Amino acid sequence: MESEFEMSMCGELTFFLRLQVKQLDTSLFLSQTKYVENLIKKFGLQSKNVVNNPRSTTTKLSDDPNGKSVDSILYKSMIGCLLYLTAINCAIFYTFDTNVEIAGYCDADWGGDLKDRKSTSGGYFFIGNNLVAWHSKKQNCISLSTAEAEYVAAGSCCT
């Protein structure tokens, strides 16, 4: 490219707009590991317990047993950072091989929320054997059958 364009070589690209870039001969990997590590330090989450996601339907969220109130500014900051991460995808792996299989799976429970009888949709998306995205969300409507709940879940996974 130097022969065609007026430019100078500044070395291999490793960071770009908070993204870490790893270039290999056959693939390209973009991630935000450094950004996530900085968030963990910023919010003091290094010693917190890890929980499985999606959350189990048998556990219920409750108030703090010690009666300590939540810092709303800190909470909003955490949620904003998490929304940013989910909006731009945390990791992208691109391989130059065109035979990579892309697969998506979805499911729904029927009327799983006992209060309003709404169903919950969920989906998982793979590139090859790598999980690249997942989602779990309560449906906006009340399904009258399992087929309807599954149909709504399939629609949300397609979007």
Q: Where is average pLDDT lowest: 47-51, 115-119, 137-141?
A: 47-51
- pTM, full prediction: 0.41
pLDDT digit string, tens, across residues 8-42: 667 777 777 777 888 777 777 777 778 888 888 88
Angstrom distance (rounded) from CA 26 to CA 37? 27
> Is pLDDT of 59 > 60?
no
**Biggest CA-to-CA distance, the chain:** 68
What residue segments make up the domains of the chain, in order of their start? 10-99, 101-159
**pLDDT at residue 1, rounded to an integer:** 57
Q: What is the pLDDT of residue 110?
A: 79
Question: Residue 159 belongs to what H/E stretch?
Answer: none
